[in-house]
């Protein structure tokens, strides 16, 4: 049996199972909507919305504005260079929460409290990499050892911040530690003399 060789130069036709299934489901209108029928999007419309096979925009201005609003991307606007709202991942959420609590990290740095009052995280932001100049080789540069994948890892590995954190934890523990009878005991030589008198 001779094997058929693929012929070069023939026209290629894409397989569109979603469109084929919708055409069969729209022909049987009496049965109602099928559950596997795809929703109408910017590219594809069901046959009920087509006029002679073409999509015609609705005459109703409210419907037209609704369609246009769906197609507009969520951005900050022209004044802020149309910065898009990124998708919020758990890693990004943790880093934003760390930035909100940056006032508690370093005792010698003070930040404005305007944005820290609201618990809501920002919707529009961008994440970038800081590239140091050659003049800051010794002063403003992190070594390879100090560089970490996330902001949280960098903060946890910082020795100055570790010492500060330990000191603050110790202070809080001492403040909340139950005193027992140490609070009302009179310390010093007099208390020892009184105890001796009581014994005799």
- Domain annotation covers residue 181: no
Of the candidates 155, 29, 47, which has an alpha carbon nearest to the alpha carbon of residue 104? 155
* Boundaries of domain holding 163: 149-176
- Domain annotation covers residue 171: yes
pLDDT value of residue 137? 86
- Domain annotation covers residue 157: yes
pLDDT value of residue 52? 67
Dihedral (Cα; 26, 29, 34, 38), 10-degree rounding: 30
pLDDT value of residue 163? 92
pLDDT value of residue 29? 47
Tens digit of each residue's pLDDT (9 = 90 or more) over 51-103: 666 666 677 888 878 877 777 777 888 888 888 889 899 999 999 999 888 88
Q: Report whether 103 contacts 115 (CB < 8 A).
A: no
pLDDT value of residue 166? 92
SS3 content of the chain, % helix, strand, coil (to 5): 45, 5, 55
- Domain annotation covers residue 155: yes
- Domain annotation covers residue 161: yes
Task: Report the C-alpha gap between 42 and 68 in whole angstroms.
Answer: 10
- Domain annotation covers residue 159: yes
pLDDT value of residue 91? 92
Task: Report the C-alpha gap between 60 and 70 in whole angstroms.
Answer: 16
Residue-wise pLDDT tens for the chain (200 aa)? 556 665 555 556 655 555 444 444 444 444 444 545 555 555 566 666 666 666 666 778 888 788 777 777 778 888 888 888 898 999 999 999 998 888 888 888 888 775 656 788 888 999 888 888 888 888 878 888 888 988 889 988 999 899 999 999 999 988 887 766 665 665 666 666 767 676 76
pTM of the model: 0.51
pLDDT value of residue 170? 92
The count of domains in the chain is 1
- Domain annotation covers residue 105: no
pLDDT value of residue 44? 62
- Domain annotation covers residue 32: no
């Amino acid at each position: 049996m001779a094997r058929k060789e693929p012929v070069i130069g023939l026209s290629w036709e894409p397989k569109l199972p979603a469109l084929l299934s919708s055409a069969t489901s729209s022909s049987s209108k009496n049965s109602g909507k099928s559950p596997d029928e795809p929703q109408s999007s910017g590219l594809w419309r069901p046959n009920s919305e087509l006029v002679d096979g073409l999509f015609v925009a609705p005459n109703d201005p409210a419907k037209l504005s609704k369609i246009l609003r769906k197609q507009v991307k969520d951005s900050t606007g022209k004044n802020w260079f149309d910065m898009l709202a990124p998708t919020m991942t758990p890693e990004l959420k943790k880093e934003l929460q760390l930035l909100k609590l940056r006032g508690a990290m370093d005792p010698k740095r003070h930040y404005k409290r305007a944005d820290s009052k609201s618990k809501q995280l920002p919707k529009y932001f961008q994440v970038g990499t800081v590239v140091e100049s050659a003049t800051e080789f010794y002063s403003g540069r992190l070594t390879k050892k100090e560089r970490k994948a996330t902001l949280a890892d960098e903060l946890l590995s910082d020795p100055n911040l570790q010492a500060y954190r330990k000191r603050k934890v110790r202070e809080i523990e001492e403040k909340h530690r139950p005193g027992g009878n140490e609070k009302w005991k009179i310390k010093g030589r007099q208390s020892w003399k009184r105890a001796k008198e009581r014994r005799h």
